[in-house]
Amino acid sequence: MATSQRKKGGVQRVESKLRACIERGDYYEAHQMYRTLYFRYSAQKKYNDALELTYSGASLLLEHNQLCSGADLAMLWLEVLTQASMPVSKENIDRAISLFKELEADSPERISYINAALKWTKTVHPDETSGHPQLHNQLALVFWKEKNYIQSRYHFLHCSDGQGCGTMLIELSLQQGFPSEVDLFIAQTVFQYLCLNNKSAAKVTYMTYTESHPQIEEGPPFQKPLLNFVWYLLLAVEDCLTGGSSGKVTVFSVLCDIYKPSIRRDPSYLQYLDRIGQLFFGLPPPQQSGGSGLLDNLIQSFLRGEEEEGPPPAQPEEEDLD
Amino acid sequence: GAPGLPWQSVVPADWVPVIQRDIETQRNLQPQPPFSDAYSTGIPAKRRKTSH
C-alpha cells in the first residue's frame, strides 16, 4: 500500500513537472521527457503508469495545438493498450475517442491513429476481425458530427447502430444525394449490412430510414419498387416465411427476377445479392469466370475491414499481372 | 425464377397486389441518372479506384 502510494506520487510529481513545462511553452523538451519516461515504464512493464503518462501527455499537447507531438504520444498510448491487452472498456473507448477528436481531420496522423486503435481492439478481441463494434460506433458518430459522411457510413457498417446509421443516411441523402437516389441510399446500406451478416442492423436501419425520411411516404408497401424489394428481402432473410428453406430460396429467386429492373439501377447490387443468396439462402457461388474479380473486390473490401485511407494493397491489382 | 410455378403461388398472398403494381411501375422505369458523389462513395470498388 505504502509503496504503491509512493509510486503513484512519483508519477504525479513527474506529471506536474511536465505540465509546467508545457504551460511554459517548452513543448519539445516536454515531448522528449514523456517519451523517455514512456520507454522506462514500458520496459519495466509498468503499464498503468505508462498509460496514464502517455494519455495525459497526448491530451495536454493536443490541447496546446501541438499536433505532431500529441499524435506521437497518442500512438504510444495505443501501443501500451495493445502491448498490455487492455480491455475494450467504455473508459478506454472514451479516451481513444477524445484523443481522436483532437487530431486534425484528414491528417495522416488520424489515419494511423484509427488503424492502431482498431488493431488494439482486434488484439483483445481476435474474433472481431474488422475491429470492435463499440469503437466503430463511436468513430461513426464523430465523423457524422464532422459531416464526413463517407467515413461515418463506413464505420456504421461495422457496428450495430442501425438507428444512428438510418438517421445519418437521411441527412446524407437530403444534403448531398439526388432525389433519384432516395431509395438507393437505403438499398445499398441494407445490402452491405447483409453481406456483412448483420441482419438486425440492416432491418433497424431500413425502418429508421423509411419511417423518418421526409421524401418517403408511409409504408410498407411503398410507391418505389426498390423499397418494397428490400422490405421483402428483409422478411425472407428473417425466416418469417413459411415453406422452409426451399420455399425461402424460391421466394428469393422470384423476388430477384421480378425486381430486376430496379436492381439493375446500380450494377453492384447484383453482386451483393449473389453474396446474400449464398449467406442466407444456401445458393452456390456464381460460376467462376473471368469477370468474378469485381465481386471479390467489392465484397472482400468489406470483409477485410479495409478502409479508403488504409494502406494500399500489398498485392498488385490482378489486371496488372496479366 | 421457379420453373413451372407462377410467382403468385410462391410469395405470401398479401405481397401479390404490391408486386403486381411494382411490375407495372417498373415498365416505365426511367434510366438511372449518374450517381451523386455522396452515393457513389458508398460503392467500395469505386471508392478504391477514385481515392488514390
Torsion of CA A121, A124, A126, A127, to 10 degrees: -80
Structurally, how many domains does chain A consist of?
2
Closest chain B C-alpha to A253 CA, distance in angstroms:
5
Give the distance between the most distant pair of CA atoms in chain A.
Answer: 76
Q: A2-56 pLDDT, tens per residue? A: 445 555 667 788 888 999 999 999 999 999 999 999 999 999 999 999 999 999 9
CATH of the domain at A19: 1.25.40.10
**Helix extents (H) in chain B:** 16-27, 37-40, 44-50
A158, part of any domain? no
Query: Does some domain include residue A303?
Result: yes
A287 falls within a domain:
yes
Answer whether residue B40 shows pLDDT above 80.
yes
Q: Which residues of A touch B24 (CB under 8 A)?
A: none
**In 3D, which of A41, A61, A65 has the Cα closest to residue A51?**
A41
Chain B neighbors of A225, CB-CB under 8 A: 22, 25-26
In a domain, A172, yes or no: no
Q: Which residue has the higher pLDDT, A309 or B40?
A: B40
Q: Using the predicted structure, report yes or no on whether residue A165 has a pLDDT greater than 50.
A: yes
Domain boundary among A91, A124, A157: A124
pLDDT at A309: 43
The model carries a pTM of 0.87
Final residue belonging to a domain, choices A124, A150, A167: A124
Contact B52 A312 (CB under 8 A): yes
Cβ proximity of A255 and A232 under 8 Å: yes
Residue at A174 is within a domain: no
Name the residue among B52, B38, B46, B37 with its Cα closest to residue A268.
B46
Residues of chain A numbered 235-274 and touching chain B (CB < 8 Å): 241-242, 247, 250-251, 253-255, 257-259, 261-262, 265-266, 268
Domain assignment present for A26: yes
* A132 domain-assigned: no
Residues from chain B that touch A173, judged by Cβ atoms under 8 A, are: 38
Any B CB within 8 A of A150 CB: yes
Task: Give the tens place of pLDDT for each residue, A98-149.
Answer: 999 999 999 999 999 999 999 999 999 999 999 999 999 999 999 999 999 9
Distance (Å, whole) CA B20 – CA B5: 16
How far apart (Å, rounded) are the C-alpha atoms in residues A173 and A212?
A: 12
Range of the domain at A118: 10-124
pLDDT tens digits along A263-301: 999 999 999 999 999 999 999 987 655 444 555 556 666
Query: What is the distance of C-alpha A163 from the center of its chain?
Result: 15
Q: Write out pLDDT tens, residues A57-112.
A: 999 999 999 999 999 999 999 999 999 999 999 999 999 999 999 999 999 999 99
- All residues of chain B having their beta carbon less than 8 Å from the beta carbon of residue A319 are none
End position of a domain, from candidates A92, A124, A156: A124
